[in-house]
Chains A and B, each alone.
Chain A
Amino acid sequence: MSVIKLATKIPGFDLIAYGGLPQGRSTLLSGTSGSAKTVFGTQFLVEGIRQSGQPGVFVTFEETPEAIRANMAGFGWNIPKWEADGLWAFVDVSPRPDNQPQAITGSYDLGALLVRIENAVKRTNAKRLVMDSLGGIFTQLGATATVRYELFRIVNALKEMGVTAIITAERIEEFGPVSRSGIEEFVTDNVVILRNTLEGEKRRRTIEILKFRGAPHQKGEFPFTINAEQGIVVIPLSAIELKQKSSDVRVTSGIPELDRMCGGGFFRDSIILLSGATGTGKTLVTTQFIAGGVMAGQRSLLFAFEESRDQLFRNAWGWGIDFEKMEAEGLLKVVCEYPETASLEDHLIGIKRVIEEFRPERVAVDSLSALERVASIKSFREFAIGLTSFIKDRNVAGLFTATSSSLLGGTSITETHISTLTDSIILLRYVETYGDMRRGLTVLKMRGSMHEKDIREFTIDSKGMHIGKPFRSITGILSGQFTYRTPDEMERINQLFRSSEESGV
């Protein structure tokens, strides 16, 4: 018998769960304190009511219903209204201030709790149920064999009631046993773990489906974030389908000579990585890319994480581009933010939201490297994958810039992590020539197209970038280890290749 899934409608979760939680079963949701178990549980009921028309029951062992109603109002979840409408019921088993610790003599069962749960489920016609958290009941009655057996009985009864349940449990360590009480043996058809780890001074929330008995799901940890508008949002990285609807429509890079080097422009749905040391002209290429889009009548979106709006607009003005006018006309949108204002997961969600609202045909992010600062390498890689696949999926041309750490040659972390995700790579390099610092540009990779392999010199003036002749007398530009050759030597080498080519024919 195959397991039917119940779509939780918690953003992103159903993608990693291949449809949702196993319907009519209980799932153990385990996490350390502060890992957002209660939010997840509450949202499970909220989305059920809001999106699926499924009433829910919240059995609380720790917080009082008053506290939950108040805490969750911050997400715009109006629990009292749903209670009044008969769509939501609390079973309040939280410790009561007027109760002394339970005096116990002889054997007992949790029949009363079961009666209350059954009553609440029947009264609301609930399809979803949350028990938060098992730790609370053990605090009240002790983690005795009786309590364990009774919980087992309740979980079985839930199955008979046909509700899909989430039962939360506390863990002590992020990577230790599934739960503190060892209760998982009883409930564990299905286990989901929430983590809130500290990596390189950054908090990172992840969710992992440890097991769904008899049902498939994505493996491993997925980042998630919590925001005031949506609650929990899971970022389903590898669950994003890699369906490359490759297009052979070309769009301009905004620089005619660069278009020629690329064999006629960038592909419409391609991701372009622009890498170079600081000051090599990345912001200029970005600005021209965006302006070129606007000039061609395309909606263009620029995310700037390094420069302020004023700076950016002034720079553009200096190259003869009027961003202000373009924005007023509605084809351009510029979003400036400091990377430190949010976590990377939140940035990703923010970027996605702006893209969905503005519906651009091209997007530039200047720079991706600035975002490295606010995250661990792992988070950064996930961010890059999430962003590129999102952009690709929408048939949008994306230009990302990456700052390499050394002035001459070298690669950036950004490059290391996203170069395989990109369709094109353009390198900007400083070139030292007999006491001069000049700039060079080359198209390193251009998926699905011929492109020029030269390293060409470029200059910048009040009209922007001008791409000139290839550097013929210098080698080692990419590595930063320059060697210079005299015209004699070059002639001799050219001769050599020519004669071997001729002899080969």
Chain B
Amino acid sequence: MEKYLLKLYITGQTARSQRAISNLRRICEEDLEGNYELEIIDLLEHPQLAEEQHILATPTVIRELPLPIRRIIGDLSDADKVLRGLDLHTRCRDAPPAGEALPPANSLHPPQA
């Protein structure tokens, strides 16, 4: 299985940024079991990246690999939503609970077996 390449964009070391960083680290460690690479980018230091990546809100996580690109914004406090929003597949978690609506883009790319 291809490695996930995740980039977390923040603006400054705010409490929200810190929260997003620790939430994302925890999710990665617990659910991706080392099968990932994580980059944290402070847009205050690299404003041109915000322009290139068309980032509107922070924190934003972009899953650059595997394609297609996936994005999610927020402090990532809900691990289930993060996994679904970024279309991350884990060994220990199954598909989202029945009855809950999927984001439309996810339904175009159903989890691979």
> Which residues of chain A have a CB within 8 Å of any CB of chain B?
91-93, 96, 98-116, 118-120, 137, 140-141
Contacts and interface: CB of A to CB of B under 8 A. Distances in A.
B55 A112 contact: yes
Contact of A116 (B47, B70, B74): B47
B82 to A, nearest CB: 6
A109 B81 contact: no
Contact of B75 (A91, A99, A107): A107
Nearest to A110: B57
B74 A105 contact: yes
A123 to B, nearest CB: 9
Q: Which of B11, B54, B81 has the most CB of A within 10 A?
A: B54
A108 B75 CA distance: 6
Contacts of B69: 98
B59 to A, nearest CB: 6
Contact of B56 (A93, A103, A106): A93
Contacts of A93: 54, 56
Contacts of B58: 108-112
Contacts of A116: 47, 50-51, 55
Given A93-B54, A105-B81, A106-B23, 14 more contacts: A100-B104, A100-B106, A101-B103, A103-B73, A103-B81, A103-B85, A106-B74, A108-B58, A109-B58, A114-B11, A119-B48, A119-B51, A141-B56, A141-B57
B96 interface: no
Contacts of A119: 47-48, 50-51
A124 to B, nearest CB: 13
Interface of B: 9-12, 16, 19-20, 23, 43-44, 47-48, 50-51, 54-60, 68-78, 81-82, 84-86, 103-106
A112 B43 contact: yes
Give the top 5 A-B pairs by smallest Cβ distance, nearest first: A100-B105, A111-B11, A103-B85, A106-B75, A106-B77
A115 B72 contact: no
A100 B11 contact: no
A105 B56 contact: no
B104 to A, nearest CB: 7
A96 B68 CA distance: 14
A109 B16 CA distance: 9
A115 B106 CA distance: 30
A100 B106 CA distance: 9
Nearest to A150: B57
A112 B85 CA distance: 20
A111 B78 CA distance: 21
Given A111-B11, A112-B11, A104 B72 contact: yes
Contact of A102 (B12, B71, B76, B77): B71
A115 B43 contact: yes
A88 to B, nearest CB: 14
Contacts, number: 111
Contacts of B75: 105-108
A117 to B, nearest CB: 10
Contact of A108 (B51, B59, B81): B59
Contact of B103 (A100, A108, A109): A100
29 contacts: A96-B54, A100-B103, A100-B105, A100-B106, A102-B72, A103-B71, A103-B86, A103-B103, A104-B72, A104-B73, A105-B73, A105-B76, A105-B82, A105-B85, A106-B23, A107-B16, A109-B58, A111-B10, A111-B11, A111-B43, A111-B57, A113-B50, A115-B43, A115-B47, A116-B50, A118-B47, A119-B47, A140-B56, A141-B56
Contacts of A100: 70-71, 103-106
Contacts of B106: 100
A141 B57 CA distance: 9
A99 B53 CA distance: 11
Given A103-B81, A105-B77, A141-B56, A111 B47 contact: no
A252 B52 CA distance: 71
A105 B78 contact: yes
B63 to A, nearest CB: 11
A170 B58 CA distance: 26
Nearest to A99: B71
Given A103-B103, A140-B56, A112 B9 contact: yes
Contact of B57 (A96, A112, A120): A112
A137 B86 CA distance: 22
A16 to B, nearest CB: 35
Contacts of B85: 103, 105
Given A113-B56, A115-B50, A119-B47, A108 B74 contact: yes
A392 to B, nearest CB: 53
Contacts of B84: 103
B61 to A, nearest CB: 9
A106 B76 contact: yes
Contacts of B20: 106
A110 B50 CA distance: 11
